[in-house]
Amino acid sequence: MAKPTGFLEFKREAAGERPFKERIHDWEPIHLHLPEERLNQQAARCMDCGIPFCHKGTILNGMTSGCPINNLIPEWNDLVYRGLWREAYERLSRTNNFPEFTGLVCPAPCEAACTLGIHDPAVTIKQIEFAIIERAFDEGWVTPNTPSQRTGKTVAVIGSGPAGLAAADELNKAGHHVTVFERADRIGGLLMYGIPNMKLDKKLVQRRIDLLAEAGIQFVTNTEVGRDVTAAELQEQFDAIVLCTGATQPNDLPVPGRELNGIHFAMEFLHGNTKMVLDGAYETLPVFAGGKDVVVIGGGDTGTDCVATSLRHGCDSLVQFEIMEMPPMVRAANNPWPQWPRIYKMDYGQEEATAVFGEDPREYGIMTKRFIGDEQGNLQALETVNVRWLPAENGGRPKLEEIPGTTQTWAAQLVLLALGFRGPEQTLAQQFGVETGPRTNIEAEYGRYTTNVPGVFAAGDARRGQSLVVWAINEGRGVGTAVDAYLMAE
């Protein structure tokens, strides 16, 4: 453990972020970082809790609690406190292929499960994790995981998001020849194009991809499996295939006026913006929020990213709709520790919007009824109604009820739909002949990852549905082990 009395001596201290009104004018990372001495103090807060709930990921009340990749958190907190940074990196790299990603974009279910969090602010686990991996890169400790010998077996990984990259890394370390196929022009999937640069610097993503390539992984971009190369062709060329395509079918909002110009899925907006930032070609931006009244429909991380990106475009006004009721300021009685705390909080996008417009952009308990356009078919406004949730009856789901007399019209020339995702696109599943479940996810048992087609595996969001980056890494590591056992018959 770290310092026995550390949690009594030191208060939680986060490094903070760049000033709101400064950072909304650029695409640079928003995060600041603590110096080593204060990081040692934060690591010292890790207490001798007996049973570290932080490092065991599980689902409680429908949400993740603890770390799905079982990071050895108390161990590397102790090592950081004692100044043993290289040893801390070695512990961290045993369980996490990409700590620089989870250290920035993971919502930190580990901190939600921190035992100290029962009565005090939790240990700053995510902050320490990122500091460890950045120290390791600065010191030159992070090197390519090149295997000492090759097995001669070949594996195709389809999709280069966190699950695909983790699977490729594990399989390459085992000595197999791995080729990763990506339909976009850059490797990284969600990490590259789904998360804005200010939240996850693409230099960090490219740095890791370069290491994987140096270790022997082959990357093929601008190639859509199912169109540019068929499933049958891959099955002839490779000994095993891993489907890590993600859950990329967005949920739509089929209300009157949906066909109007100015209504876009969130990922279309975010992907195009990040490509513009990386290419340096502002004129190529497909969806622009500048000078417009923007409505973001959906309250998750993707909705927050749309809010932050719209602010940087220079939107005239901004509102974000959430169909759920506003959460309480403190834990409800039916939401005890170590469950994920369902409480009111402001993420970086809402904080920025508040700094610009003076208030939280979110409207809770609201539902869009129709979109309104002009004679040219361009979006001009949308109509909403307030809703309330009625308690579930006989073990069923809560019911949604519209509140009479609450109809309202909102000016909008741009609407961004951030309503989550249904599951993976079905072209690949059909071509490979793999079975899918009721939610269109590829059927493959967790821990085994085998589909009904021999030699074809599935992992990540394509298998489990929309989830966290850290769960994708968990499944990428798991499917790597499963495929290795299949190839080597042991």
> Tell me, what CATH number does 357's domain have?
3.50.50.60
DSSP 28: S
Q: Which amino acid is at 490?
A: E
Q: Quick one: average pLDDT of 25-49?
A: 95
Whole-prediction pTM: 0.95
The mean-pLDDT minimum among 48-52, 112-116, 332-336 falls in 48-52
> Does residue 62 lie in a domain region?
yes
Does 3 score more than 90 pLDDT?
Answer: no
228 plus 294 within the same structural domain: no
Neighbours of 487 (CB within 10 A): 20
Is-contact 192 270, C-beta < 8 A? no
Q: Quick one: average pLDDT of 346-356?
A: 97
> Does residue 147 lie in a domain region?
no
- Residue range 143-202, pLDDT digits in tens: 999 999 999 999 999 999 999 999 999 999 999 999 999 999 999 999 999 999 999 999
220 plus 316 within the same structural domain: no
3-state secondary structure 52-69: CHHHCCEEECCEEECCCC
276 plus 376 within the same structural domain: yes
Task: Write down the pLDDT at residue 410.
Answer: 98
Task: Write down the pLDDT at residue 357.
Answer: 97
> Does residue 125 lie in a domain region?
yes
Cα 419–chain centre separation: 15
Residue whose entry in the numeric block shows the structure tokens 């909008």? 412
Helices 125-139 and 73-81, packing angle to 10 deg: 60
Taking alpha carbons only, the member of 440, 437, 481, 473 closest to residue 457 is: 481
Tell whether the torsion through CA atoms of 107, 108, 111 and 112 is positive or negative. Answer: positive
CB contact set of 413 (below 8 Å; sequence gap of 6+): 262, 292, 293, 294, 378, 379, 380
Task: Write down the pLDDT at residue 235.
Answer: 97
306 plus 370 within the same structural domain: yes
Query: pLDDT confidence of 261, banded at 50, 70, 90?
Result: very high
What value does the mean pLDDT of the chain take?
95
Does 477 score more than 80 pLDDT?
Answer: yes
> Does residue 1 lie in a domain region?
no
> Which domain CATH number covers 49?
1.10.1060.10
Q: Quick one: average pLDDT of 104-110?
A: 96
Burial 214-223 (b: 16+ CB within 10 A, else e): ebbbebbeee
Query: pLDDT confidence of 263, banded at 50, 70, 90?
Result: very high
Cis peptide leading into residue 454 (ω within 30°): no
244 plus 336 within the same structural domain: no
Query: pLDDT confidence of 47, banded at 50, 70, 90?
Result: confident
β strands within 336-484, DSSP E: 362-364, 366-373, 379-390, 399-402, 408-411, 414-417, 421-423, 456-458
Task: Write down the pLDDT at residue 391.
Answer: 86
- Supply φ then ψ for residue 83, to 5 degrees: 80, 15
Number of independent structural domains in the chain: 3
C-alpha 309/C-alpha 26 separation (Å) is 10
Choose the final residue of a domain: 396, 419, 442: 419
Task: Write down the pLDDT at residue 1.
Answer: 62
258 plus 330 within the same structural domain: yes
Choose the final residue of a domain: 373, 403, 419: 419
261 plus 410 within the same structural domain: yes
Helix (H, G, I), strand (E, B) or coil at 4: coil
Query: pLDDT confidence of 229, banded at 50, 70, 90?
Result: very high
Does 12 score more than 90 pLDDT?
Answer: yes
> Does residue 149 lie in a domain region?
no
Does 486 score more than 70 pLDDT?
Answer: yes
462 plus 326 within the same structural domain: no
Does 395 score more than 80 pLDDT?
Answer: no
183 plus 267 within the same structural domain: no
Task: Write down the pLDDT at residue 164.
Answer: 98
Pairing of strands 421-423, 366-373: unpaired
Pairing of strands 63-65, 58-60: antiparallel
CB contact set of 128 (below 8 Å; sequence gap of 6+): 39, 42, 43, 76, 77, 80
318 plus 200 within the same structural domain: no
Is-contact 159 463, C-beta < 8 A? no
* Domain around 387: 252-419
Is-contact 473 64, C-beta < 8 A? no
> Which two tokens mark 45?
């807060």
> Does residue 148 lie in a domain region?
no
Is the model more confident about 305 or about 286? 305
Q: Quick one: what percent of the chain has pLDDT higher than 70? A: 100
41 plus 114 within the same structural domain: yes
- Supply φ then ψ for residue 414, to 5 degrees: -145, 125
310 plus 233 within the same structural domain: no
Q: Quick one: average pLDDT of 198-219?
A: 98
Burial bucket for residue 420 (CB in 10 Å: 0-12, 13-18, 19+): middle
Q: Quick one: average pLDDT of 322-331?
A: 95
- Residue range 232-256, pLDDT digits in tens: 999 999 999 999 999 999 999 999 9
> Does residue 146 lie in a domain region?
no
Is-contact 365 386, C-beta < 8 A? yes
> Does residue 113 lie in a domain region?
yes
Choose the final residue of a domain: 419, 448, 465: 419
